[in-house]
Amino acid sequence: MTTAPRIPPDATDPARAAILAGTGDELDDMTLMTAILSLALPASADRPRVAGRLLARFGTVGGLLAADPEDLAAAVEGKVPVSVAILLLREAAIRLMRARISQGNVLSCHAALMSYLQAALARDDVEQFRVLFLDHQARLISDEVLARGTVDHTPVYPREVMRRAIRLKARELILVHNHPGWNPMPSREDIAMTRRLEQIATVLGLSIRDHIIVGNGASTSFRQSGLL
């Protein structure tokens, strides 16, 4: 009696087959989301229903990955593995964006930098202050969160910023903080703090190349706005 050859599971799954063939960009969001849920939901019958509900709520896979964690938790109705899988994918996407700006001169890839900062900070519900430390060729040495605050304030300690820059042997700095919500316009305090840091950096032979404020969906560059 002849036994039929065993067919690998991936060969009968169009989503997995497309990913393995390098044609994943041809998948529609529903098919892609259903495949992603296979990593979190053992019951295959649940996946299309959950995928449809998530896409109805957030619009696209991209919108889902950018969703606020609290909104995501409510949408998955207690299915913690689904939330974890989506948040892991989001973190992987952010790290991919950071890797792209780490490959050369950060200042020459402004659009990629802004996309990365939007993904990393826009959904945070408290302010955070971070610094991108660059070498003399504007290559990324380190990207660090130096302070976290409240919904409308983050303490910034110039001494700690400069101490860290000297320790890393950085030559140039990009300051970044977020404004929870939609408004990325700098406050008077933001402008005063930036000028103070710029003055101290100049004395130490360092350069503040930009200060970027990230809102939900929009960002402001001090350099491009003529504030630096």
> Which pLDDT does position 3 carry in this prediction?
54
Give CA–CA dist 128/134, Å, rounded.
19
pLDDT in tens, 120-163: 888 788 899 999 999 999 999 999 999 988 877 788 999 999 99
- Tell me, what's the pLDDT at 149? 82
What is the average pLDDT across 38-49?
A: 82
Cα-flanking dihedrals φ and ψ of residue 184, to 5°?
-95, 15
Contacts of 85 (CB under 8 A, 6+ apart): 36, 37, 39, 40
Instruction: With CA atoms as reference, report the closest residue to 64 among 89, 45, 92.
Output: 89
Higher pLDDT, 52 or 181: 52
More reliable by pLDDT, 19 or 132? 132
Whole-prediction pTM = 0.81
How close are the terminal C-alpha atoms of the chain, in Å? 80
Mean pLDDT of 83-100: 91
Distance CA 136, CA 195 (A): 21
How much of the chain exceeds pLDDT 90, in percent?
Answer: 50
Q: What is the pLDDT of residues 169-179, one digit of tens each?
A: 999 999 999 99
Query: pLDDT at residue 6 above 50?
Result: no
Q: Where are the beta strands (DSSP E) in 135-227?
A: 140-148, 172-178, 207-214, 219-221
Q: Which residue has the higher pLDDT, 47 or 204?
A: 204
Would you state the pLDDT for residue 11? 47
